[in-house]
Amino acid sequence: MNLAVSNPNLSVILPVGCNAKCEFCYWKKDCGLTVEKFENIAVTLPSIFTQCSITGGEPTLLSNLTEYLKTAKNRFDKVVLNTNGCLLTLEHIKVVDYVNISRHHYLDDKNRKVFGTETVPSVGKLKILCSYGNITLNCFLPEGFSDKQFINDYIEFAKYMGAKVAFRKYYNNLNILTEIDTDKTLVMEHFCGACRHRIHIINDCNVTFKYSVKETSEHVNGIYELILHPNGNLAYDWAGKYILTYQGD
């Protein structure tokens, strides 16, 4: 197995629907993955795979989500749950190391419009969820985004929530950065070829700008991450075109 990084990630797309209709989402409904199959695949991966991301669809709609989370935690050192917070509970948060909650606007009405649903958490519910643990609010910035005031206002919102914030933006070259992302407040930077993370402390809030490609397999020489699809296939890519036949060490 040719690895492109020293700490490759396993991303697990759970076999579950979604309550939202975000225009930029990659997800498509499919089924076949079970907790048992997930565990069998996880334990056969090389020990260098130490982190796992659980995503969907919307994971919290899955009735046995906690089983998947516990299975992941039994195998991996770091487990991250990605959710829009729809049915997120303290039980879910306590199992994993980190929770990323998608929140694309600080105002409830505009956030619901992006998601295309009324079922995402309100500011009040989000405040409660953020009090439970290590929460990062993920905000996707569309192509051509340049509203510096929005970013400042969102950071203030995240600080009030007691959460970290990550602004995500797709890029085609390394020169496309967000205006507020300057070296003045930069505390750490990471670049691997497929993504670039620039971490800041802004207004006493932990702020990360994530610039990433849509398909890592097309930009790095080797395996950056593996994706376990909801149909049970383990692949190199999010589209599920390049299926891995690997069966262990």
Question: What's the whole-model pTM score?
Answer: 0.89
Q: By residue range, what is the domain housing residue 15?
A: 9-235
Residues near 229 by beta carbon (within 8 Å), at least 6 away in sequence: 13, 30, 33, 235, 240
Task: Give me the pLDDT at residue 248, please.
Answer: 47
Q: Is residue 241 part of a domain?
A: no
Q: Is residue 166 part of a domain?
A: yes
Q: Is residue 240 part of a domain?
A: no
Query: Could you tell me the CATH number of the domain that includes residue 31?
Result: 3.20.20.70
What is the rounded CA–CA span in Å between residue 195 and residue 185?
20
Task: Give me the pLDDT at residue 17, please.
Answer: 82
Q: Is residue 245 part of a domain?
A: no
List, for the chain, all residue ranges whose pLDDT scores fall below the cut of 50.
4, 174-176, 247-249
Task: Give me the pLDDT at residue 61, please.
Answer: 94
Return the number of other C-beta atoms located less than 10 Å from residue 35's C-beta: 15
In tens, the pLDDT along 132-175 reads 989 999 999 887 788 889 999 999 999 999 999 999 987 655 44
Distances (CA, A) of 225 to 60, 117, 123, 139, 197: 23, 31, 33, 22, 16
Q: Is residue 244 part of a domain?
A: no
What is the rounded CA–CA span in Å between residue 157 and residue 162?
9
Q: Is residue 218 part of a domain?
A: yes
Task: Give me the pLDDT at residue 247, please.
Answer: 47
Task: Give me the pLDDT at residue 223, please.
Answer: 66
Domain count, the chain: 1
